[in-house]
Chain A
């Protein structure tokens, strides 16, 4: 009897429903996020029993004394710019193409989407093998085309390595943008398209004046997702180059990991994480506001 009464109290019901998710989320996601900020003010090697408070020293160090931090920062920016331009563009093109009534379009969609579901670390392993300078796929193709003398050291030369890694990322991520765009394209109002056709608009006209404006929301979402996922580029770079050669493909997320978990300088690693967190927030907060306004407008 008492049990029933307790369970029927709406507040208890609410917390029983909401509680598990909220507790796990707060403990294992929100708390570490605050902890990383806290840790960044200490010097700690993971071995000593006490952490030494050093204030902003770790930040000063990464900004002024770390020879790799700015390389990692620059690479993260380059990677992000490439990520928001190339895969979404290719994805959009594919979505438009695969929205036409053509033979086997479902199979084609499946092919383009397939790499998305593969573990990024497996993609890295695959591509690392394809980039093998002696027996890899790309080297062999170039040799076949008579360009054997020009085969670059795909992952070993600092000019090529970052872009080689990015090519693998494109292969993996295009399908994701494509699916989002496909959904967006299918939402485009058919009668508007018809109306435009009747008004004499060609394919380009329909795309430019009907489809594209209708895709604005999808486009924003794809771009924001691309930015966020590129900021955390980790698995692919870790698996393909490990940040090398000579740290020239280092990324912020990977460099934070290296400092904390391989050099065991937890303070410095955390400071790098906080910088990455700040950059992410600079993108996320405006987006969330925009999203909220959009929702409010819709209601």
Chain B
């Protein structure tokens, strides 16, 4: 990546006199960004090559004769139709449902005085810090005991449980910041907490909910360890499980393997590119200001 200094001359952002430190900074940032993006380029290139082309051409050589058939083959062999639908169903239920019950709980904790409120809050907060990876075996025995292994509820319920702490934590902070007058006015009008929650709090927290929604979607879409334990039947597999199995089974079809990677990564990437700004606000509203 080279750019002659004259390319900057037209830049309006960089005001004269030229700030050489800034230019140097810019160049290094662009170079590092190129390195950051290189793996994607390499994967996409490989995904369009036949095995013979992979073994004979350079990694950076663009595919001369794009093998789009790799995608069709990987889709069929990796049974992406099944894993894709499973991932979509799980995310479509888990994400809105999780947000809704978290929002209700956060409202109760933030706005209704109660005896053990503080204790419950700490208990839930605690959950944001504890890695569920340490509990894979007991979660497995619990879900197995309930007869829910290889079912959607069997994976959605634990997903909900481990999503609740972070969402409650963020929404609690947000609801606490909503002026008292707003909720009191509604309460005085005789509205129940349900009505206040739905009519007053949900509408004003839409931006936060949107950010949490997207973060949670990506997290649910990408989750691997718990699905690995709870979904033993390949008819129930999610995309990450399918990809992992694909790597194990078809690792010698390099083109198809990379096509499978692209297809797994693409949905989350698209969601990210569309809703980019929510990611940042979703992360920062909780962690830094919370």
Q: How many residues of A contact B (CB 8 A)?
A: 92
A21-B33 contact, Cβ under 8 Å, with A35-B141, A288-B126? no
Alpha-carbon distance between A235 and B30 when the two chains are bound, in angstroms: 30
A43 within 8 A of B: no
A21-B102 contact, Cβ under 8 Å, with A36-B138, A277-B134, A288-B126? yes
Alpha-carbon distance between A112 and B114 when the two chains are bound, in angstroms: 44
Task: Write out, one digit per residue, whether chain B residues 213-229 have a CB within 8 A of any chain A CB (1) or not (0).
Answer: 00000100111110001
Alpha-carbon distance between A130 and B257 when the two chains are bound, in angstroms: 12
Task: Write out, one digit per residue, whether chain A residues 128-140 have a CB within 8 A of any chain B CB (1) or not (0).
Answer: 1110001111001
Cβ–Cβ contact A225 & B136, under 8 A: no
Residues of A102-143 at the interface with B, using a CB-CB cut-off of 8 Å, are 102-103, 108, 110-115, 117-122, 125-130, 134-137, 140-141
Residues of A199-222 at the interface with B, using a CB-CB cut-off of 8 Å, are 203, 217-218, 221
Task: Write out, one digit per residue, whether chain B residues 113-156 have a CB within 8 A of any chain A CB (1) or not (0).
Answer: 01000001011111101111111111111100000000000000
Binding stretch for chain A, among B35-43, B69-77, B204-212 = B35-43
B interface bracket (residues with beta carbon within 8 Å of A): 35 or more
Alpha-carbon distance between A210 and B123 when the two chains are bound, in angstroms: 36
B2 within 8 A of A: no
Distance between A109 CB and nearest chain B CB, rounded to angstroms: 8
Cβ–Cβ contact B243 & A121, under 8 A: yes
Cβ–Cβ contact B55 & A135, under 8 A: yes
Collect the chain B residues with CB atoms within 8 Å of residue A260's CB: 136-137, 140
Distance between B26 CB and nearest chain A CB, rounded to angstroms: 5
Collect the chain B residues with CB atoms within 8 Å of residue A187's CB: 288
A32 within 8 A of B: yes
Which residue in B60, B135, B157 is a CB contact (below 8 Å) of A36? B135
Binding stretch for chain B, among A11-19, A81-89, A158-166 = A11-19
Cβ–Cβ contact A117 & B218, under 8 A: yes
Could you tell me which B residues sit within 8 Å of A by CB distance?
A: 8, 11, 13-14, 21-22, 25-26, 28-30, 32-33, 36-40, 42-43, 46, 54-55, 58-60, 101-102, 104-105, 107-109, 112, 114, 120, 122-127, 129-142, 157-158, 160-162, 164-165, 168, 192-194, 197, 218, 221-225, 229, 239-240, 243-244, 247, 254, 257-258, 260-261, 264-265, 268-269, 271-273, 276, 279-280, 283-284, 287-288
